[in-house]
Amino acid sequence: MSVLSGKKILLGISGGIAAYKTAHLVRLFIKAGAQVQVVMSPASLHFVTPLTLATLSKNPVYSTFYNEEDENGVWNNHVELGLWADLMIIAPATANTLSKMANGNCDNLLIATYLSAKCPVYFAPAMDLDMYKHPSTIDSFQKLSSFGNIIIPAENGELASGLTGEGRMAEPSTIVSFIESDVLGKLPLKGKKIMVTAGPTYEAIDPVRFIGNHSSGKMGFDIALQASKMGAEVTLISGPTHFQLENSQINLVKVQSAKEMYDACHRYYKDMDVVIAAAAVADYRPKNVALQKIKKTETTLSITLEKTEDILASLGEQKQNQFLIGFALETENEIENAKLKIQKKNLDLIVLNSLNDKGAGFGQPTNKVTFIDRDFTVEPMDLKSKEAVAFDIINKIIKHYEA
């Protein structure tokens, strides 16, 4: 999955011949999983039609502040467009448009939207080679760079004038790759390896029956997705769950039992920077597993249980430089029990859930957690969606590495 998946991309098109390439550029952004909104300068309408771009982006295309043919005069709000975007890309960026951007010459909707944008702005210059090297163009590049805007360098090649040289707009695939690489390189967990455990474990009684719990695995999956979005290389070790990963960059390891999860965790642990143990691992399993289905012959059935491997404690014992996060689900003496778990299992942070809190626990779309660190600092959080809780957990990791 592309790092652009889920991103809101505002594509600004100015009036150069390279505008014909933007249809392909829109398709590539959509293929990467982004939402695309197109804003065109009036001159760009001569090179590519709004209908083409609206069809590909599945959004209306804007080029004027209002539709002169509409007697109601509906305003195309440049401020809302600028605030909507996660990223803005101006391609092609002609010498004229670059000069307007650099000097705040706001005479069309595209420039007004650019001046309203609060997101990172990329621009892909496109012009003839003498224009590209002209001091005024270089001055525009320098000014825009000082604003924090990011240039996608033009390429050498055949130009519309018939000359060959620098000034050709980067190809759409190059633009997408450039932005992906730039976004990924700036993510706070880039280069970090994170292991997440999720879901329940099933401990077999016989070939048909098992001992399990009500964990859905959603919390762990949300954490893994959020960690990946922040640039981490993620391994997700999951017990049985109906959730499917849409992010192919996450290494999903499927297991059934506590023993299988124990083995998988230790297989990857030594290479990890961070471990988040969100799985609800069974504490006990049947000591003897029947090879055939147990027949219903008696009114009662006794099953002898034995303890499963304590995965988190074993990881704590072997911890070197890993940042180790555990979960605790409690029903009484929550804070005290969580603090004991931090000490016994050598944790850096624990995420405490209480079944006494409405909206928390298994099978819920929400969670209410309390963070407790190894210094026993207690930080209760409000009831939130599990996606928001995952965001909070990943932010704890980011702050740990920023400290």
- Quick: pLDDT tens for 24-44: 999 999 999 999 999 999 999
**Given a cut of 70, is residue 70 above it in pLDDT?**
no
- Domain 193-402: CATH class, spelled out: alpha beta
- In the structure encoding, which two tokens stand for residue 215, read together? 């964990």
* pLDDT score at 274: 98
CA-to-CA distance for 33 and 61, rounded, in angstroms? 19
Of the candidates 77, 96, 213, 251, the residue annotated as catalytic is: 213
pTM: 0.80
- Domain 8-185: CATH class, spelled out: alpha beta
Tally of CB atoms within 10 A around 173: 11
Is residue 94 within 8 A of residue 16, CB to CB? The reply is yes
Q: Say whether 193-402 and 8-185 share the same fold.
A: yes
Terminal C-alpha separation, the chain: 30
Q: How confident is the model at residue 71 (pLDDT cuts 50, 70, 90)?
A: low
Would you kindly state where each structural domain of the chain is located, as residue ranges?
8-185, 193-402
Burial of 23 (0-12, 13-18, 19+ CB in 10 A): middle
- Quick: pLDDT tens for 164-219: 889 999 999 999 999 999 998 899 999 999 999 999 999 999 999 999 999 999 99
Q: Tell me what the mean pLDDT of segment 291-313 comes to.
A: 93
- Quick: pLDDT tens for 339-351: 999 999 999 999 9
Give alpha helix (H) positions in 152-257. 172-185, 218-229
Own/partner pairs, 207-211, CB within 8 angstroms, 24+ separation: 207/290, 207/291, 207/292, 207/293, 208/293, 209/293, 209/294, 211/282, 211/284, 211/285, 211/286, 211/305
* pLDDT score at 399: 95
- Quick: pLDDT tens for 263-281: 999 999 999 999 999 999 9
What is the arrangement of strands in the sheet containing 323-330, beginning at the earlier edge strand?
251-254, 233-238, 193-198, 274-277, 323-330, 349-354, 369-373, 378-380
Calculate what percentage of the chain has a pLDDT beyond 90: 81
Active site residue 213: yes
Q: Which residues contact 242 (CB under 8 A, 6 or more apart)?
A: 216
Q: How confident is the model at residue 285 (pLDDT cuts 50, 70, 90)?
A: very high
Closest CA to 354 of 367, 336, 372, 340: 367
* pLDDT score at 365: 82
Tell me the three state secondary structure of residue 369.
Answer: strand
